[in-house]
Chain A
Amino acid sequence: MSFYLALKEVWRNKGRFLLIAAVVALITTLVLFIAALAEGLASANREYIEKLNGELLVFQEGTQLSTTASRIGRQRIAELRRVPGVAAVGQVGFSTLKLVPPDGSADINVAFIGVEPGLPGEPPVYAGQQLERDRGNNVIVDEGVVARLGTKVGDTIKLKVTQGTKEEFYDLTVVGLTDRRQYFFQPAIFAPLNTWDKIRPDGNGSGANTELISNIAVVRLQDPSAQAEVAKTIEQTVKDVEVADRRTTWEALPGYAAQQSTLTTQQFFTFFIGVLVVGGFFQIQTLQKVAQIGMLKAIGLSNWTVGWSALIQIFTVNAFGVAIGAVGTLALTSNFPVTVPIMLTGTTALASVLALLAIGPLGGIVSVFVLLRIEPLRALGMAQ
């Protein structure tokens, strides 16, 4: 009976319910877009760190997990490799420089990341081959570069670096392509650490007589579940370092937390507006139906039937709106170019959709209570 009444009313008043479903669809689009933007921005910020093939990141002590402020030398690396539980340690250096497109268009800022071939920090390639120590002019580029330049394995890319006041250009050969590994909103190019050290701005030149210094070290553990214990051991046995896992590291990235909290607040308020809009609609509808509900109760429909009918209706209309909004947003986001920081992952979409499905029942709960409290006599004008 509840289903019959709920769905019949929706079907016979398609225009009215379609209108509220459209509002829910718009709210869904907005919530999912903000979620996708939050995910896209977060991902653009942390992608490389998140996908690292090592559990722990080691920073210079007192640098507050800043990848640019931290300096880790070979001495520390050697000490780290001796810590029990550590399987492998790779040095990683970060810098930003310009990629010169071959078609003469504007230079592209890229994250130029120095890694040790075969060690943690080097990304896996899906095409071509990994880096080799003795082939210094080889690089791996991520999909961000591929999307912008259409780079293929074997291509040569040109990097522009400002050393002091002088511009220098370097031609490097692409030996491998890796998936999206953006770092700090920039597409990434990975070079052997020596090459990176030679090319990066204010680098150590040939590095022949100086210690090769990276920004951080990435540590892969023998047993990934022993993260906390090994981290503690490292901090106790290796001097002047601090250790963090990947999540802690990306959460400490400049602006990351502030940006994410802003977007989460926006999402929350959009969600809240949704609850109010849906609640308002169903409340008005309930108030318009007082006499009708009173009559239904008078002829024998229980509170249970009337209440369920309202909830089914609210849920159906809301779910329809959410479905339209979600499908529309998915279709839209999948067609955005890779350069736009919009990313809707399955988990984010599912979490948002589940929250949005709760909008209806949350918003409609007041109207359901109003329905339950309608007295047939009063509603039919028979009360004294």
Chain B
Amino acid sequence: MIALEAINVTKIYGTGTNAVTAVNDVSLSVRRGEFVALVGPSGSGKTTMLAMLAGLLKPTHGQIIIAEKDIGRMSESKRTKFRGQYIGFAFQANNLVPFLNAQENVELLLRLNGKLNRQSRESARNLLERLGLGERLKNRPGQLSGGQQQRVAIARALIHEPEVVLADEPTASLDTERAHQVVQTFAELIHEQNRAGIMVTHDLRMCKYTDRVIQMMDGRINRIIADRREILRLAGAADELDGHVVPVNGKPVLAGDPLADVRGI
């Protein structure tokens, strides 16, 4: 069942001669229980695409359908309310409210949606325990490591049973081991809870936990990899390169680069 659908979405910043097309006529859909990676070099339009899918940015043209509603047509206040109900977020940084402890941070979305009760509190606790934070429930973000903070953010993104879960570079500030742990758990939960998940990432090694990889280039979808073996080959090759992309003259280049096709070289 389709949880999220983008139809001919375009985003143009500025007007006239200053106009820049960040996303150009992109269509994609994500099913429930599917975890998709959105990859591509800087400036490819993936963050703009994610912002539009999240209802944080209105598309210039096209439709974004979540829960059978076109969020691009909603007013600012309706979109804000919609985000609280139907979308879960994990950002690159500044994910958590610093004065709330781990459990309170997770419960924030339950409170916002008027769903905070004994049962939902128990669910929040269980989710955090599942994420290995059972001993850290009462710790505030400042007392948690980067990986622990990201896991709390993931719990918060999922606790209110949203239609779509979005993550923007969730491993950017984590070491390799933590990054794998975080994304693996994220993927497991998306599959278990039957949510639609999209993750924007630069680290192609993380693609191995996803069901589909959508590569963007210059505002368009350049390639979609849905074959499991292809995805693993991509992630494996990236693993050999330690996840690094080597830019030369502004373009990532490597002799015999197995990722060249994905990078669009």
The chain A residues found within 8 Å of chain B, CB to CB, are 1, 4-5, 8-9, 12-13, 291-292, 294-303, 376-377, 379-382, 384
CB of A382 to closest CB in B, whole Å? 5
- Which residues of B, 72-109, contact A by the 8 Å Cβ criterion? 77, 80-85, 87, 89, 91-95, 97-100, 104, 108-109
| A10, closest chain B residue (CB) | B99
Q: Which of B57, B95, B108 contacts A377 (CB 8 A)?
A: B57
B99 touching A301, Cβ below 8 Å: no
| A375, closest chain B residue (CB) | B56
| A13, closest chain B residue (CB) | B99
In the complex, B5 has a CB within 8 A of chain A:
no
> Can you pick out 10 interface pairs between chain A and chain B where the beta carbons lie within 8 Å of each other?
A8-B104, A13-B99, A292-B94, A294-B94, A295-B91, A298-B56, A298-B91, A299-B108, A382-B50, A382-B56
Q: Given A13-B99, A377-B51, check contact A291 B94 (CB 8 Å).
A: yes
Q: Given A8-B100, A382-B51, A384-B22, check contact A299 B168 (CB 8 Å).
A: no
In the complex, B54 has a CB within 8 A of chain A:
yes
- B51: chain A residues at CB < 8 Å are 377, 382
B97 touching A300, Cβ below 8 Å: no
- B168: chain A residues at CB < 8 Å are 380, 382
- A8: chain B residues at CB < 8 Å are 99-100, 104
CB of B77 to closest CB in A, whole Å? 6
| B86, closest chain A residue (CB) | A300
CB of A43 to closest CB in B, whole Å? 47
8 tightest CB-CB pairs across the interface, nearest first?
A300-B84, A291-B94, A12-B99, A300-B83, A9-B99, A302-B80, A377-B56, A295-B94
A301 touching B80, Cβ below 8 Å: yes
| B94, closest chain A residue (CB) | A291
Question: Given A300-B82, A300-B87, A301-B80, list of 18 further CB < 8 A pairs?
Answer: A4-B111, A9-B99, A12-B99, A12-B100, A12-B140, A291-B93, A295-B91, A295-B94, A298-B54, A298-B89, A299-B83, A299-B84, A299-B89, A299-B112, A301-B112, A303-B80, A384-B47, A384-B48
Q: How far is the CA of A298 from the CA of B84 in the complex (A)?
A: 8
A380 touching B99, Cβ below 8 Å: no
Q: How far is the CA of A12 from the CA of B139 in the complex (A)?
A: 12
B56 touching A300, Cβ below 8 Å: no
| A295, closest chain B residue (CB) | B94
CB of B166 to closest CB in A, whole Å? 10
- A381: chain B residues at CB < 8 Å are 92-93
| B45, closest chain A residue (CB) | A384
Q: Which of B57, B80, B92, B156 has the most CB of A within 10 A?
A: B80
B100 touching A1, Cβ below 8 Å: no
- B108: chain A residues at CB < 8 Å are 299
Q: How far is the CA of A17 from the CA of B93 in the complex (A)?
A: 26
Q: How far is the CA of A294 from the CA of B83 in the complex (A)?
A: 13
Q: Given A12-B140, A377-B57, A384-B22, check contact A300 B81 (CB 8 Å).
A: yes
- B97: chain A residues at CB < 8 Å are 5, 292, 295-296
1/0 per residue, CB under 8 A from A, across B1-35: the answer is 00000000000010000001010000000000000
Q: How far is the CA of A299 from the CA of B80 in the complex (A)?
A: 8
- B109: chain A residues at CB < 8 Å are 299-300
- B48: chain A residues at CB < 8 Å are 384
Q: How far is the CA of A295 from the CA of B109 in the complex (A)?
A: 12
- B112: chain A residues at CB < 8 Å are 1, 299-301
B95 touching A295, Cβ below 8 Å: yes
Q: How far is the CA of A382 from the CA of B112 in the complex (A)?
A: 24
| A301, closest chain B residue (CB) | B112
- B92: chain A residues at CB < 8 Å are 380-381
A298 touching B83, Cβ below 8 Å: yes
- B99: chain A residues at CB < 8 Å are 8-9, 12-13
- Which residues of B, 186-219, contact A by the 8 Å Cβ criterion? none
Q: Which of A292, A299, A384 has the most CB of B within 10 A?
A: A299
